[in-house]
Amino acid sequence: MEVRRLVITGFVQGVGFRYAMMAQARLHGVNGWVRNRRDGSVEATIAGSAGQVEEMLAWSRIGPAGATVDKVMVETASGEYTDFELRPTA
C-alpha cells in the first residue's frame, strides 16, 4: 500500500475538482480524502497500490474539465483509509 499527500495548485476550486477526484478514486479503488484549502489549492491523500496511485497522480495533473492545474506537490504520507471522502476546507 502506497500513501501520498498531494497539494494541487492552479485554478482548482469552483470547478468540481474535489467531486471529480472522489469519482476517479472510487473508479480506481483508491482510498483517502480530498479538501479545499483556504489558499485556493486542493489537498488530498491517496492510498492504494503503486499502479492505482500513479493513475491518480496522472489524473491530478490534468483534473476535471474547467480546471487548470499549475503544479502538483507530492510527498510520501502514512495512514490507513477504508474509503475516499470529502473533508471540510482547511
Just list the catalytic residues: 18, 36
Record the cell numbers describing residue 16, joined without a space: 468540481
**For the chain, what is the radius of gyration of the CA atoms?**
12
Residue labelled with grid coordinates 500513501: 3
* Separation of alpha carbons 30 and 25, rounded Å: 5
* Separation of alpha carbons 52 and 28, rounded Å: 6
